[in-house]
Structure 1
Amino acid sequence: MGEHPDCALVRRACTAFSEGDLDTVATLITSDVVHHVPGDNAISGHHKGRDACMELYRTMSEETGGTMRTELETVMCDGRGHAMAVHRLRAERGNRGLDMKNGEFFTIVGGKITDIDECAENIDALNAFWGT
């Protein structure tokens, strides 16, 4: 039995993001996608729309000098348009490093990602890494 299409979509998006392939990421999300980033820091908040999300991803890459990587550990889905990814997030920014588990809850409609709700293993470390 093959992988569920929702899991395959999330896996493809996570792989593309980790490889810095933002062109592919853009094709996997809807024009009205929303990415919710937790915490109280420079990138936290609700990034609404494909353009805003792509700007977020470019900023994350630029601010980390391209060091941001996600190592996908598992993807799970409910078969009703929701998937969850757990991965290890690693990045460097100036004299700060980040190495923690992160989770993302995806909503999928029509074979595209419409919502990403992110959770961090350590919000305080995430806030310290990104600053205000």
Structure 2
Amino acid sequence: MSEHPDAALVRRGYEAFNSGDLETLGSLLTADAIHHVPGDNPLSGHHKGRQAVLDLYRAFGEETGGTMRVELLSVLVDGRGHAMAFHITRADRADRGIEIHHGLFFTIVGGKISDIDQCTQDIDEENTFWG
């Protein structure tokens, strides 16, 4: 049984993220894509537009000295333009490290990602790490 195209799209995004391939990531996003990051820290907020989303991903890399990696655990799709992905994020920043579970809810339009809502296992730990 072949993988659903929306699941394959999400997996390609994770592979590109882990390899730092912003060009491929950009090709997977709509021009008006939004990534919503929860919390109360410098990276929280609504990152609107392909370039703003890519700038967020660039900041993840810069702030962690390139140590951030995500281990994809599973991808679920509904066949109607939605996908959910669950992963473990590992990163180091200054004198702190983090290993935390995240979930991303994707909206997919025309074979591209248009919206990403991020959830975290522990919002306080997340704020401390990025704060």
Fold match by TM threshold 0.5: yes
Give the SS at the match of 1:79.
coil
Q: What residue is the counterpart of 2:68 in the other structure? A: 68
Give the SS at the match of 2:27.
helix
1:116 paired with 2:116, answer yes
**TM-score between both structures, scaled by the size of structure 2:** 0.99
The separation in 2 between residues aligned to 1:61 and 1:110, in whole angstroms, is 28
1:24 paired with 2:16, answer no
Q: What residue is the counterpart of 1:4 in the other structure? A: 4
The separation in 2 between residues aligned to 1:87 and 1:95, in whole angstroms, is 23
The separation in 2 between residues aligned to 1:120 and 1:109, in whole angstroms, is 24
Which aligned segments of 4 or more residues in structure 1 are displaced greater than 3 angstroms? none
Q: What residue is the counterpart of 2:40 in the other structure? A: 40
Instruction: Give CA-to-partner distance per residue, 1:83-117, whole Å, 9 cap, x none.
Output: 00000000000001110110000000000000000
Pairwise CA RMSD of aligned residues?
0.5
Q: How does 1:84-103 map to 2 (within 5 A)?
A: 84-103=84-103
**TM-score between both structures, scaled by the size of structure 1:** 0.98
* Code of the aligned partner of 1:28: L
* Code of the aligned partner of 1:16: A
Give the SS at the match of 2:40.
coil
Instruction: Give CA-to-partner distance per residue, 1:38-58, whole Å, 9 cap, x none.
Output: 000010000000011111111
The separation in 2 between residues aligned to 1:30 and 1:112, in whole angstroms, is 6
Q: Structure 1: any 5+ residue segments left out of the alignment?
A: none
The separation in 1 between residues aligned to 2:117 and 2:130, in whole angstroms, is 18
Identical amino acids, percent of aligned pairs: 63
Q: What residue is the counterpart of 1:125 in the other structure? A: 125
Q: Provide the aligned length of Structure 1 versus Structure 2.
A: 131
Give the SS at the match of 1:73.
strand
